[in-house]
Amino acid sequence: MAPLGLPAAGAVVVAFLVDHFFGEPPPKLHPVVWIGQLLSATSAPWEDSRRASAFLHGAVIWLVGATLSASVAWAAVIAIRQMTGDHSLKADLIEAVLVGVLLKPLLAWRMLHDEVADVERALDMGLEAGRTQLKRLVSRATETLSASEVRESALESLAENLNDSLVAPLFWFSLGGLPAAALYRFANTADAMWGYRGRWEWAGKWAARADDALSYLPARLTAALLALAAWRSPQQLSQIARLTPSPNGGWPMGMLALALHVRLGKPGVYVLNSPADAPSPAQFWRGLRLCRRVAWLTVVSSATAILIARRWH
Taking the model in full, what pTM does it have?
A: 0.95
What count of residues does the chain have? Answer: 313
Q: Is the pLDDT of residue 313 over 70?
A: no
Q: Give residue-wise pLDDT tens across range 60-71.
A: 999 999 999 999
Q: Is the pLDDT of residue 2 over 60?
A: no
Q: Is the pLDDT of residue 244 over 80?
A: yes
Helices and strands (DSSP H and E) totals, the chain: 12, 2
pLDDT of residue 169: 98
Per DSSP, the residues of 17-74 read HHHHHH-SPPGGG-HHHHHHHHHHTT-TT-TTS-HHHHHHHHHHHHHHHHHHHHHHHH
Number of domains in the chain: 1
- Which residues lie below 8 Å from residue 276, measured CB to CB, with a gap of 6+? 257, 261, 262, 263
Residue 204 lies in domain: 5-312
Q: Give residue-wise pLDDT tens across range 16-62.
A: 999 999 999 999 999 999 999 999 999 888 887 899 999 999 999 99
Q: Decide: 59 and 203 in contact? Cβ < 8 Å.
A: no
- Provide the 8-state DSSP code for 106: G
Q: Give residue-wise pLDDT tens across range 36-46.
A: 999 999 988 88
- Which residues lie below 8 Å from residue 192, measured CB to CB, with a gap of 6+? none
- Provide the 8-state DSSP code for 203: T
pLDDT of residue 3: 59
Would you place residue 211 in the very low, low, confident or very high pLDDT band (cuts 50, 70, 90)?
very high
- Provide the 8-state DSSP code for 234: -
Would you place residue 111 in the very low, low, confident or very high pLDDT band (cuts 50, 70, 90)?
very high
Q: Give residue-wise pLDDT tens across range 75-94.
A: 999 999 998 877 788 889 99
